[in-house]
Amino acid sequence: MIMAIQFKRAGFISYSLFLIIVSSLMTVLCYHVFVFNTFATDETQTQAFREVSAEEIKDSPIKDDNSIIEVMSYGCHYCAANEENLTEFARTLPAGSVFKTIHITSDSNGLAVYAPIFATLEEMGIEEKVRDSAYNAIITRSLNLSDEPTLLEWLVKNNIDVKHFQATRQSDGVKARLAEMADITRHYAITATPMFIINKRYVVAQDRDFPEFAQRMQQLLTGEK
């Protein structure tokens, strides 16, 4: 009986790792094919910019106007590389603007496996503080934080109250955060990270060096298409 449980648990962990690896590779491929055009024959074509319809804007699950929503994943090395640039960029936004980070959330995307951790840490009010540590654990140290013992060890090392984390993870607040992130992921058809949703209207990926990309996002935010 014990061996059967251990076998099932090992199988589940292996399958989770498989989904994460495949999704990470798909994100890299997506950026090379559609954003950086590594394999493109026509260099004038790009899918790094998409404008949604008026109906989609009306039905958007995003509540904030004048907003930039970053859709990221703890398993995305592009997201980790952008972290400092985005922090500085957020400080330059006009008064009344909102910059918010959410985790991609979907049952069919391996990069979304860490969404419950993100939502729980955010509900606890410490997500931004430990985000770099989560990136480092998953991307640099190849730790699978979706595995419960590995997660608990990481929580202890980061001085996060385990009992508080476990209780918060089951809270209505976390469930609401996960539902909202899933709605945004689905509504805007987000399949790779990082992506940026600007004014509920534009879905963009980074297709140029960051200072120029920051200027581009500023233009879209203020209505200069």
pLDDT tens, position by position, 15-55: 555 545 545 545 444 444 444 443 333 333 336 899 999 99
Percent of residues in the chain assigned helix, strand, coil, to nearest 5: 55, 10, 35
Is the separation of the CB atoms in 198 and 221 below 8 Å?
yes
Q: Which CATH class is domain 2-222?
A: alpha beta
Spatial strand order in the sheet of 195-198? 49-51, 202-204, 195-198, 67-72, 98-103
Pairing of strands 202-204, 49-51: antiparallel
Pairing of strands 98-103, 202-204: unpaired
Per residue of the chain (225 residues), give pLDDT as tens: 544 444 445 554 555 555 455 455 454 444 444 444 433 333 333 368 999 999 999 999 999 999 999 999 999 999 999 999 999 999 999 999 999 999 999 999 999 999 999 999 999 999 999 999 999 999 999 999 999 999 999 999 999 999 999 999 999 999 999 999 999 999 999 999 999 999 999 999 998 988 999 999 999 999 875
- 84 burial type by CB count under 10 A (0-12 exposed, 13-18 middle, 19+ buried): exposed
- Domain spans in the chain, listed from the N-terminal domain onward: 2-222
Enter the tokens of residue 117.
């951790």
Question: pTM of whole model > 0.85?
Answer: no
Residue type (1 letter), 20: I
